[in-house]
Amino acid sequence: MADVDVIRVKGGVRLAGEVGVVGAKNSALKLMAAALLAEGESVITNVPRITDIALMGEVLRRLGAEVAFEGDEVRINVPAVLHPEADYELVRRLRASICVLGPLLARCGRVRVAHPGGDAIGSRGLDMHVSGLAKMGADISGEHGFVVAEAPSGLHGAKISLDFPSVGATENLLMAAVLARGTTVIDNVAREPEIVDICQMLIAMGARITGAGTSELTVRGVDQLQPVRHASIGDRIVAGTWAFGAAMTRGDVTVRGVDPRCLEIALDKIQQGGGSVDYGPDWFRVRQADRPNAVDVRTLPFPGFATDLLPMAIGMAAVADGVSLITENIFDGRFMFAEELKRLGADIRIEGHHAMVRGRANLSSAEVSASDIRAGAGLVIAGLCGDGVTTVRAVHHIDRGYPDFVADLRALGVEVERAEAPADPEYGF
């Protein structure tokens, strides 16, 4: 087997210092897809240089767009005629690329997109995407692992109610609706800051959208959109990772580049755990003098506690004083992370979508493996609470969501290295 990259961290370190957060992965990827709705060159700034962004760039290139990265900017030049099929291999590697379904159908009248892959964190079906587009006049079928949608006469407005406030379904239906004839009303939509961000970009392009940030979006279709320059919002999940890292390690960390209102529930949990939180318009500071107190957490769609921060919440519970009940309501596979955290000595009992975590003053060190982006970051942070050196394998997952992760750790006082190691037959990599 080939060598793989690992991250090794020395435990017994408190995070201290200042760290900057760049653009949100979960926003920038969708903004890149939205650029397909207008012929010409759109520029998206504050884009994180991570693996997923590079993959999305290649997805757009194979659709016919010209894509160029310059610093934290991505320039997307969209032709008059797009290729309406999203490459199977790329979509399989990047689940977020399913968001090209809506804009391609709106622009081309036909689209063929592979069923997506992505993180191993549970079922994420396309039922709401498909049923919503069907209400807008699309004829949808499946063939050989692809979703095929056709609307030769164009899409039309409709009244759509989502069974669940799915971020992906909201984005696809929103992007399809902006060029549809008439008015589309989408009820029970996702309210995440990233949804508001894409609405703001679309409005700047000429779309007519009201209700961003609420549970109902009203979209009045227009004939065409114009290319635009737009800056992505800061990444609240990366910011939240450092917030919980400060709480877990009894540290003192200032995070800049994100609106703390996007993390209100998460920062409140840290305060409940005994941490001190100060904040301004685009920064916050977390200080934790003593061992955190146990707090209960349950994930919910925004403005609830973000499922992407669940590994960090479990990590804080693992070193807290007392017993915490952690409930996952979004993805049924998110607790895969907990099994690896047990290798570090965490006392966790899982029953269904609940995890009972009995905190310990310190964790031990071990070799563990990341199953997804946030699990990887969470395991590295948990390793700082160990008694030796923790090795985290499969760190290519971390690369998909955290630019300069090792450099940021060093800036916060961590003794850390990234190195090649022989593949482990236990994990298959």
Task: Give residue-wise pLDDT tens across range 122-136.
Answer: 344 688 998 999 999
CA distance 338 to 344: 10
pLDDT at 78 over 70: yes
CATH number at residue 335: 3.65.10.10
Flag whether 372 is in a domain: yes
Mean pLDDT of the 72-94 span: 88
Bridge partners for 383 per DSSP: none
pLDDT of 426 reads: 52
Structure tokens at 196: 């508001």
Residue pLDDT, tens place only, 322-370: 999 999 998 777 788 899 999 999 999 999 999 999 999 999 999 999 9
Q: Report whether 338 contacts 348 (CB < 8 A).
A: yes
Q: Report whether 50 contacts 43 (CB < 8 A).
A: no
296 is in an annotated binding site: no
Flag whether 261 is in a domain: yes
pLDDT of 145 reads: 76
Helices in 15-166 by DSSP H: which ranges? 25-34, 51-62, 88-93, 101-108, 127-135
Q: What is the DSSP letter of 293?
A: B
For 161, the domain range is: 25-231
> What's this model's pTM, rounded to 2 decimal places?
0.93
pLDDT at 112 over 70: yes
Structure tokens at 199: 């609405």
pLDDT at 424 over 80: no
Res. 144 pLDDT band, cuts 50 70 90: confident
Residue pLDDT, tens place only, 184-215: 999 999 999 999 999 999 999 999 999 999 99
Kindly tell me the sign of the dihedral angle through the C-alpha atoms of 415, 411, 54, 25. positive
**Smallest Cα–Cα separation from 27: which of 232, 167, 170, 256?**
232
Q: Say whether both 226 and 326 belong to one domain.
A: no
Q: Say whether both 170 and 257 belong to one domain.
A: no
Flag whether 371 is in a domain: yes
pLDDT at 153 over 80: yes
Res. 116 pLDDT band, cuts 50 70 90: low
Residue pLDDT, tens place only, 26-77: 999 999 999 999 999 999 999 999 989 999 999 999 999 999 999 999 999 9
Name the one residue in this structure whose structure tokens are 């090209």: 100
Flag whether 71 is in a domain: yes
Q: Say whether both 15 and 96 belong to one domain.
A: no
Q: Report whether 150 contacts 137 (CB < 8 A).
A: no
133, 164, 219 from 160: Cα distances, Å: 9, 12, 11
pLDDT of 354 reads: 95
95 is in an annotated binding site: yes
Single-letter residue type at 9: V
Q: Report whether 219 contacts 190 (CB < 8 A).
A: no
Question: Within a 13 Å sphere around the CA of 101, how many CA atoms are in the beta-carbon half?
Answer: 32
418 is in an annotated binding site: no
Q: Say whether both 325 and 361 belong to one domain.
A: yes
pLDDT of 3 reads: 56
Mean pLDDT of the 231-258 span: 98
Flag whether 189 is in a domain: yes
30 is in an annotated binding site: no
141, 325, 384, 405, 410 from 9: Cα distances, Å: 48, 28, 7, 12, 10
**Containing H/E element for 139?**
strand 139-143
pLDDT at 79 over 70: yes
Structure tokens at 184: 């589309």
Mean pLDDT of the 272-281 span: 98
* Those residues with Cβ within 8 angstroms of residue 406's Cβ, 6 or more apart along the chain or in another chain: 7, 416, 417, 418
Flag whether 46 is in a domain: yes
Kind of pairing, strands 297-298 and 323-327?
parallel
Residue 152, exposed/middle/buried by CB under 10 A (0-12, 13-18, 19+)? exposed
Structure tokens at 258: 């994100």
Q: Say whether both 351 and 217 belong to one domain.
A: no
Flag whether 428 is in a domain: no
Domain finish residue from 170, 197, 231: 231
Cis previous bond, 103, omega within 30? no
pLDDT of 428 reads: 44
Q: Say whether both 216 and 80 belong to one domain.
A: yes
Q: Catalytic amino acids?
A: 119
Flag whether 426 is in a domain: no
Domain finish residue from 231, 259, 290: 231
Calculate what percentage of the chain has a pLDDT beyond 70: 95
Q: Say whether both 240 and 91 belong to one domain.
A: no
Q: Say whether both 248 and 222 belong to one domain.
A: no
Q: Say whether both 224 and 251 belong to one domain.
A: no
Q: How many domains does the chain have?
A: 2
Domain finish residue from 198, 214, 231: 231
Mean pLDDT of the 10-30 span: 96
Taking each continuous run of H as one helix and of E as one strand, the counts in the chain are 14, 24
**Containing H/E element for 204?**
helix 193-204
pLDDT of 311 reads: 95
**Smallest Cα–Cα separation from 99: which of 46, 50, 29?**
29
pLDDT of 278 reads: 98
SS3 137: coil
112 is in an annotated binding site: no
Mean pLDDT of the chain: 92
Q: Say whether both 210 and 248 belong to one domain.
A: no
